[in-house]
């Protein structure tokens, strides 16, 4: 999980962690984690945070070492990034769903794919569309669009 964070984000977490590690012991009390996340502007659910602290504080010391802190913080940061991506993709989907029906025709999808890569042959486009329009409806709903854009 922590390896999903860019180095700049880890550096920010290190600064926050170090500023709360007043004794320079290499660990912080678990009850400070909520304060740190709040100061970083990171939204969190207290109940979920408590459950994650229990999970991450493997030695049940009531203190988190930096690696444990990064693992915990990454769960909130990565989740927020995924939510932001979905929101952006939903907005893009709405632009193509001109009628507001909740789907876009595969003909429109063909144009999008051709814009993304003008080297694609008709045969390649057919194969891609067949794969994306998994239910063969001739349309692509948001879930199919999301899967195509994220590969998930």
17 closest CA partner among 4, 26, 8, 6: 26
Q: Is residue 37 part of a domain?
A: yes
Q: Give the residue numbers spanning the domain of 138.
A: 97-150
How is residue 64 annotated by DSSP? E
Render 108-126 in DSSP notation, one character per residue: HHHHHHHHH-TT--HHHHH
Q: Are residues 67 and 119 in the same domain?
A: no
Average pLDDT, the chain: 84
Q: What is the CATH number of the domain that holds 142?
A: 1.10.238.10
pLDDT digits (tens, 9 = 90+) for 106-128: 988 888 888 777 888 899 888 88
The average pLDDT across 84-110 equals: 85
pLDDT digits (tens, 9 = 90+) for 11-64: 888 988 888 898 899 999 998 888 887 877 777 788 888 888 999 988 888 999
Is 0.95 topped by the overall pTM? no
């Amino acid at each position: 999980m922590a390896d999903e964070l860019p180095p700049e984000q880890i550096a920010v977490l290190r600064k926050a962690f170090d500023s709360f590690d007043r004794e320079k012991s290499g660990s912080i009390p678990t009850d400070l984690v909520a304060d740190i996340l709040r100061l970083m502007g990171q939204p969190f659910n207290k109940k979920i945070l408590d459950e994650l602290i229990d999970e991450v504080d493997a030695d049940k010391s009531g203190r988190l070492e930096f690696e444990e802190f990064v693992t915990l913080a990454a769960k909130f940061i990565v989740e927020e990034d995924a939510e932001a991506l979905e929101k952006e993709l939903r907005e893009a989907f709405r632009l193509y769903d001109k009628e507001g029906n909740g789907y876009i025709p595969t003909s429109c999808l063909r144009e999008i794919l051709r814009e993304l890569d003008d080297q694609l042959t008709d045969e390649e486009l057919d194969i891609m569309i067949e794969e994306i329009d998994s239910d063969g409806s001739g349309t692509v709903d948001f879930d199919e669009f999301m899967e195509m854009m994220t590969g998930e």
